[in-house]
Structure 1
Amino acid sequence: MARKIRTTFPCIVASIVFCASIYHHYLRRTITSDHIPPSPITTTTTSFFAQSPLSSPPPVVISTTSVLLHDWEVLVIVSPQLAGDYSGYSCLFDTDEASAATFTGVLPFPDRFLFNCVLPVRARRRLPFRQPSLLKSPEIRPQRDSSPPLLLRWSYLVYDSLTTEDDVVLFVKGVNTRQGINRDPKELMCVFGDYVKTAVKTSMQEVFRCQRPKLTAQADLVKVSLEILAENRVVPSVAYYTPPRKLASKGGKFLLCASTMVYNVAKFLKEWVFYHSKIGVEKFLLYDNGSDDDLGKVVEELVQEGFDVTTYLWLWPKTQESGFSHAALYASNCCKWMMYIDVDEFLYSPSWKNSSRPSESMLSSLVSTNSLGLGQFEISCYEFGPSNQEVHPIMGVTQGYDCRLSHENRHKSIVLLEAIDDYLLNVIHHFNLSFGFKSKKLSTDYMVLNHYKYQAWPEFKAKFRRRVSAYVLDWTQKLNPNSNDRTPGLGFMPVEPEGWPQMFCELRDDRLKDLTWKWFGEKSSLGYDRMAWQRGYNR
């Protein structure tokens, strides 16, 4: 009996050790960057070290704040004291691991430099997550007197603010978390700096409007946040209180502008801007969701050619609705009407079939003859499939995709900005209107949006990484499987379904394809066809 116990006990101990090691090894698989409870409020400043040889003076310390985004990306926000070469930096984490830090741009109002790095695998297993230090030479490790502050989470954050003439608007994630259910403004307070608080006037989705504070003149920047009174908790913030600001206007107010949120759309943008400018859109406001393609270069080329295109860096994932709310306020001084559509959507009227050339009056006549009390036009969408395309069509989406689903789906809007209600509530590209204004849905015989939604697989696959859908936060999670934002037959992984090039094709529709060729197509001297947006062009 004793011998049996002596032989059994080591086996039990060995089993426990083995299971513990397996658990530790796979722990990171049970944690995702988007599904971790918010960290308690802590100081959000860590150190930036501009490293130098050991014989040099101590490194300059610059304050930084870091936010954990999706896919284990860490956004490091640095004060604008940094100058010179932005390459060669690394993020050093409390596990003594480092990852490369890439300069990604400047966060506006006030300007702050942004770096992006990846949370190392071993650091993902250690909770709570802590903010990294930014190093020029990761081989030289700094001395730490204390633990770094906790890493902020993008899912619980005041990420932007906009001051108007009447109030301060905060954009906050993680406070109103359930669709259609919003906290009472009386449960909240706006906090400016450490002591000044004002009442919250409205609370809707991720938008909170506050009374402007009475602050004495001071040189320091004032951070603004939101307090949840019942929980005695202040939401972490990377936003600052700034003077009132508006989108710059060249002269008077434009009759019709367009605003959209974009991510890596450089190859599509020229066609979209060129086409819509020719039928009446005068200004384009793009909310850049962290593009890492040639978006900046393409926008600069468009501006040089005479198109009025402005970008606003809007890094935060899954914030399309609040971005549209921001645009409604930000552009209100220079745009009367705003068209909210995506870069893969093209407005079209069957009545234009016999027009030999486009005209800016095609859209301006719609909004300029607006009847009293009409504040929004709702336009239905036709969704196009891959149309046997396996790569992005070189002549553009209007020429490459010509087969669609037979039924219309959803609608997008052209809205009178002064008609939007104070809550700034919007869902799927259309807004709630103030009392006295009404919406009008246009028939598909009068006007429709061609939505080139299901494109060639390499283009469509990219949507998995940065989908800005309101109701499907993560396509790889088995949540809300019946949402219209999901793709029939696609599942939860970015794997090309069999027969993808022929999917979503019930009706051949080449009306806009033929029209854009008539308007913008040309035979080149080299013997091949091309569209006007494939070459240099004049406004």
Structure 2
Amino acid sequence: MSGSHGEAEMWNFGKSSWPAMPPQQRHNLSFPPDLNQLCVVGRMKLNSYIASIHDACSPNIFPIRHRFSLLLRRPLPPFPPPSPSSPPGPPHNYPYRHANSAVNYAIHENLTGAAAAAYSPHGTAPLPAPSPSSSSPPPSPISTTAILLPDWEVLVIVSPETPPSNLDGYLCLFDNNETSPARFSGLLQFPDRATFSCLLPVRARRRRLPFRQPVLLKSPDNPPERQSAAPPLLRWTYLVYDSLTTEDDVVLFVKGVNIRQGTNREPSEFRCVFGDDVSNGVKTTVTTSMQEVFRCKRPELTAVSSVGGETNPNPMKISLEIVRENRVVPSVAYYTPPRKLESKNRKSLLCASTMVYDVTKFLREWVLYHSRIGVEKFILYDNGSDDDLGGVVDKLVKEGFDINTYSWRWPKTQEAGFSHSALYAKEVCTWMMYLDVDEFVYSPSWQNLSEPSNSLLHPHDLISPNSSSSSSAGQISISCYEFGPSDQRVHPVTGVTQGYNCRRRYENRHKSIVLLDAVDDSLLNVIHHFKLRAGYKTRKLSTKVMVVNHYKYQAWPEFKAKFRRRVSAYVLDWTKKLNPNSNDRTPGLGFEAVEPQGWPRMFCEVRDNKLRDLVLRWFGIKLDHGIRMAWQR
């Protein structure tokens, strides 16, 4: 086989069969003149040759002269290591394959006896028959669904049928063979599903749309084989992301259908679809369509069973069909039995609900304060916290505080989260206070109290019994004072109530305490207040009766963290260069997280020490060297 004639016979595929690669690579690509050289080249170089041959051949088999054939989908046999002087293999643009992984190409040896010896690497013995690879087979892929969130974050949701064995050390492998670390991001509930967060690699962002879903794995060295192209990443802007089943109906939470605030499509335009098979799934009518909340009738039990209910142990998907467009919104939500927040004790008179993201440094102060003035239960909607929220909550629960967390991983869905809580907690809470963790309710009438009382926030006491609207009051509205940085440059160790004491002169916005039985079926809420059923009214309190101290503009490092994202679905993020004169913008602040000149003294029009002095008296612990607040550690 030596010489140009043998080489031409073995390797002359014809110019038209060359794989698509840059001309300089084709020019530099050479093949060994005999099999002896082929068997001793390095693994990297061999893989390059084989990949080139594969792309030049037909998909199944291509005969090669001299009684050799190239067979596809066979494990690569072991080869001796290359000599130190062996040149590196030529560069190529073929899909990544690790040296120890099973590849889709192999050389099958058909010679026997003397003929085989002639082509042995050492010229004295036949080549051994290919043996199975000594490396472990690729692991079974973990069944996942992935969503592209804002800021190039990819949320990977593990199927409830294939939970991961543990939660550490995972990677996201994308279709361009790049990886990024996958951080455990909490459990979605009903059914329980582990979630992981990773970033879409920069180079993957430049690829042609659609972006593809990654594979969740432990190591890129032995990836599971893909039988087909990965499905496209689900887009966060168009998705059924959660559901809640009540005794009477099913509530879907959907992005991308009612897009503009105040403009809602008619319920008759939609149907709820139960089951993965849209054509054979059960469909029910939609009764309300408001913001991101859609309510529909529950399906008949026999109909659900036919698509996998009682007879199928696997959870069943639920989605929303747009009838006129004959289109179903992609979904990661499941249909589950009716559920509600459980309570070991009696029904609480007053609860507090809020959406949180990385607030553990404030949480203890907020819980201790409000629990002493009448809040009996706290419900936290975790918006993807990464600061050990679970650990802090566990400690508070062990101290006797009644706190529940609900994993609400969805960005810019504050209104939908409040709608969810109004239903989810209805059986265990009579009134619900919707308040952020940097907000503290306070009444000037408490100023002379030596200690707090659990009855200070009693809703019925806040509604004057002499008022004609007392029996029909379904919501209490409380105005807010907005506090500035108050010369603070870092988070005050004694807490926000002690560190910030300078505010803007006039109140702005409001927060609400809501009678859950009075909430309208649409669950519509806007800026912390709900639409009420017919016959119920909202009572607005004077600032002389009650006020919310909102520690909004804190020390710059704390305020800067808010640039991550605004939580409201209808409020522009800080970095969006639209509507610069909106009341939701911070005066004097641009579109980037750059500290304005004079920030520590901004928004300081009135020195207000009323709540600071009261809290110091109620929660200050005298020590030999000074005073420590009850929440300090």
Deviation at 1:450, TM superposition (A): 0.2
Pair 1:239 & 2:333 matched: yes
Distance 1:235 1:523, change over 3 A: same
Q: Is the 8 A contact 1:472 1:479 kept in 2?
A: no
Alignment of structure 1 residues 159-170 onto 2, 5 Å: 159-170=241-252
The 5 Å alignment of 1:70-89 reads 70-80=150-160, 81-89=162-170
How many angstroms does 1:481 deviate by?
A: 2.1
- Structure 2 counterpart SS, 1:190: strand
Q: Distance in 1 between the 2:166 and 2:290 partners?
A: 42
1:355 is aligned to 2:438: no
Equivalent pair of 2:511/2:529 in contact (CA under 8 Å) = yes
Supply the distance in 2 between the matched residues of 1:232 and 1:54 (Cα, whole angstroms): 52
- C-alpha deviation, 1:421, in angstroms: 0.4
What does residue 513 of structure 1 align with? 612
User: Which residue identity lines up with residue 179 of structure 1 in the other structure?
Assistant: Q
Unaligned runs of 5+ in 2: 1-100, 103-132
Structure 1 residue 509 displacement after superposition: 0.4
Write the distance in 2 (CA, Å) between the matches of 1:187 and 1:82.
36
Moved more, 53-62 or 441-450: 53-62
Q: For residue 59 of structure 1, report the CA deviation from its aligned partner.
A: 1.5
Partner of 2:235: 153
**Range moving further from structure 2, 463-472 or 228-237:** 463-472
Could you tell me which residue of structure 2 aligns to residue 26 of structure 1?
none
Please give the residue correspondences for 1:71-470 in structure 2 after superposition, counting only pairs within 5 Å.
71-80=151-160, 81-126=162-207, 127-193=209-275, 194=277, 195-214=281-300, 215-216=304-305, 217-218=310-311, 219-364=313-458, 366=461, 371-470=470-569
Residue 470 of structure 1: how far off its partner (Å): 3.8
Question: CA offsets, 1:464-509, max 9 Å, x none?
Answer: 1032134333221112322222111111001100000000000000
Give me the whole-angstrom Cα distance separating, in 2, the residues matched to 1:482 and 1:165: 45
Letter matched to residue 59 of structure 1: P
Provide the rounded CA distance (Å) in 2 between the counterparts of 1:173 and 1:293.
27
CA distance in 2, matches of 1:516, 1:152: 48
Offset at 1:369?
A: 7.1
SS across alignment from 2:220: coil
SS at match of 1:360: coil
In 2, the alpha carbon distance for the partners of 1:463 and 1:275 equals 24
Tell me the amino acid that sits aligned with residue 72 of structure 1. Answer: W
For 2:164 and 2:213, the matched residues in 1 are separated by: 22
Please give the secondary structure, in 2, of the residue aligned with 1:505.
coil
Q: Which amino acid aligns with 1:155?
A: T
Contact 2:139-2:222 within 8 A present in 1 as well: no
**Where does residue 479 of structure 1 map in the other structure?**
578
Structure 1: runs of 5 or more not aligned: 1-50
- Preserved CA contact (<8 Å) 1:469 1:485: no
- Secondary structure in structure 2 of the residue aligned to 1:491: coil
Answer whether contact 1:471 1:485 (CA < 8 A) is retained: no
How far apart, CA to CA, are the structure 2 residues paired with 1:366 and 1:288? Answer: 31
Residue 408 of structure 1, CA deviation: 0.5
2:138 touches 2:222 (CA, 8 Å); kept in 1? no
**Residues in 2 aligned to 1:62 and 1:129: alpha-carbon distance in whole angstroms:** 19
Deviation, 1:368, is: 8.3
Pair 1:529 & 2:627 matched = yes
CA gap 1:143/1:250 in 2 versus in 1, 3 angstroms = closer
- Kindly report the root-mean-square deviation, in angstroms, between the aligned alpha carbons of the 2 structures: 1.6
CA–CA separation in structure 2 for the residues paired with 1:366 and 1:153: 47
Distance in 2 (alpha carbons) for counterparts of 1:500 and 1:456: 8
Residue identity opposite 1:183 in structure 2: R
> Which segment drifts farther, 52-61 or 294-303?
52-61
SS at match of 1:131: coil
Measure the CA separation in 2 of the matches of 1:248 and 1:369. 32
Question: Does the aligned pair in 2 maintain the 1:471–1:483 contact within 8 Å?
Answer: no
CA–CA distance in 2 between the matches of 1:101 and 1:250? Answer: 36
CA–CA distance in structure 2, aligned partners of residues 164 and 404 of structure 1: 43
TM-score normalised per structure 2: 0.75
- How does 1:18-57 map onto structure 2 within 5 Å? 55-57=135-137
Deviates more, 1:464-473 or 1:416-425: 464-473
- Report the counterpart of residue 141 of structure 2 in structure 1: 61
**Which of structures 1 and 2 has the bigger CA Rg?**
2
Q: Which runs of 4+ in 1 moved over 6 A?
A: none
| Larger RCO, structures 1/2 (Cα 8 Å, 6+ apart) | 1
Kindly indicate whether the alpha-carbon contact (under 8 Å) linking 2:138 and 2:224 is maintained by their aligned counterparts in 1.
no
Q: Is the 8 A contact 2:240 2:254 kept in 1?
A: yes
Counterpart Cα distance in 2 of 1:171 and 1:211: 15
Partner amino acid, structure 1, of 2:199: V
Once the two structures are superposed, residues 272-307 of structure 1 have per-residue CA deviations (whole angstroms, 9 ceiling, x without a partner) of 000000000000000000000021111111101000
Secondary structure of the structure 1 residue equivalent to 2:143: strand
**More moved, 433-442 vs 516-525:** 516-525
SS at structure 2 position matched to 1:100: strand
